[in-house]
Amino acid sequence: MLPECRTECIPFPIPKFSLDESDIGGFMDELKTFHEQFRDCFSRSEPWENLFRYLSGQFSGLERKSIEPMALHVEGGDVRCMQRFISDAVWNDNKILKRHHENISEEMGDKDGVLIFDESGFVKKGDDSAGVSRQYCGSIGKVENCQVGVFAAYASRHGYTLIDDQLFIPQKWFEDSHKERREKCRFPEDLSFKTKPQIAAEMFQKIREDQILPFKYVAADSVYTNSEDFLDAVENIPDVVYFLAIPSDTLFWFHEPVVTEKQFKHKGVIRSRKVVNKKEKVPVRVDNFAKDLKDYFWYRRTVAEGTKGPNDYEFTKRRVTLCKKGMPDRNVWLIIRRTLGKNPEYSFFISNAPRSTKLSTFVWLSGIRWAIEQCFEETKTEFGMDHYEVRKYGGWHHHILTCMLAHFFLWHLKIRLGEKITSHYAVAA
């Protein structure tokens, strides 16, 4: 029999979004006011005006929101002008992004805010789009010809939204055989290969250095946890609590093992290296530990309220020492989540949270990390984030940036309207 569920406080409930066309009078006037603040981010008036047209197209009721149908739909739209605007026009991307963060901080900022890192794939035909390659595409769950973007999102008690993006470029694109393709896609001259965790680590460091967005928590998938680049970046920041997914084959000890110095002779020279004492038990795989754990040690908790009722899982936590290359590594919380039923599926996480941290905090973090998945679903469904047909490196980033702005704009309206809840999300311009 499972222990009875105990009511525990969490920093804030996982936010939800719902906004209806009927809630908003003068929608286009609101959009014009929002658009006005980006005037100085463009050197000429034409691209700034096209930004408004592009955003208007993204809010339209068009089934496919690629450049041509949007340009033909909006007032003053021109297909070629819109194509040049996305692919070739000069944007002050950094200034736009900084203003985006300032807006988020003003309306969503919270000392208990959460930064969330994840990737999203975009299936593509052909080989001409920047960074396209046969690689794992999370949106369809298999290897496919696609582009992959690394994203950062922000979630607080006031809402959630995307805050940064970077197109992942596979290493083969930097080989001499791809030189012509790099030139066609207008790669920046200083662009070099970076892994997804390295990209995420740079995003995190830049967000922290800017000191615009307040946050306390960081969440990410196991792709990023496996990298020392990302883990070191988030771990070395005082007062920042991470909650990171880990693979099922991760090894750990229940107690930090004793390490001793072992001497050996190599090429006539006496050397020494650290080894785990032979009397210590061998490290344990997290999946094996979870499967052997008795029901008594699991606690049933509601992660979120779904459309068909509460989403319930069972959780447990332990203080452990991680094993890295046979040696003790970090002392962390190990959090395990499993689905209900006879054949449960398990998920594993680690956290540097204080020893006094309650289980409810980890349950909450396991739920709120899905805010970035909501961002992906909403921007793709409502704003055509995956409908683009641009091939150039800069064009991809410009399109994604407009999707980020559009998504936040609706949250801006919802917050300004006083958290009014209705049943429909999309707003038609």
Q: Please check whether residue 55 is in contact with residue 403, taking contact to mean a CB–CB distance below 8 angstroms.
A: no
The model's pLDDT over 355-399, given as tens digits with 9 standing for 90+, comes to 999 999 999 999 988 899 999 999 999 999 999 989 999 999 999
pLDDT at residue 268, rounded to an integer: 65
Contacts of residue 404, Cβ cutoff 8 Å, sequence gap at least 6: 100, 161, 162, 163, 165, 379
**Three-class DSSP category at 146:** strand
**Three-class DSSP category at 405:** helix
Q: Hey, which bits of 224-258 come out as E strands?
A: 241-245, 251-253
Predicted confidence pLDDT, tens digits, the chain (429 residues): 333 344 455 777 766 666 565 556 678 888 999 999 999 999 999 999 999 999 999 999 899 999 999 999 999 989 999 999 999 999 999 999 999 999 999 999 999 999 999 999 999 988 889 999 999 998 888 999 999 999 999 999 999 999 999 999 999 999 999 999 999 999 999 999 999 999 999 999 999 999 999 999 999 999 998 888 899 899 888 889 999 999 999 999 999 887 877 766 666 676 767 778 777 789 999 999 999 999 999 999 988 755 555 689 999 999 999 998 888 999 999 999 999 988 999 999 999 999 999 999 999 999 988 899 999 999 999 999 999 989 999 999 999 999 999 999 999 988 877 644 332 223 322
pLDDT at residue 5, rounded to an integer: 40
Q: Report d(CA 153, CA 228) in Å as an integer.
A: 21
CB count in 10 Å sphere of residue 254: 14
Q: Which two tokens stand for residue 425?
A: 């999300």
pLDDT at residue 263, rounded to an integer: 64
The model's pLDDT over 22-52, given as tens digits with 9 standing for 90+, comes to 556 678 888 999 999 999 999 999 999 999 9
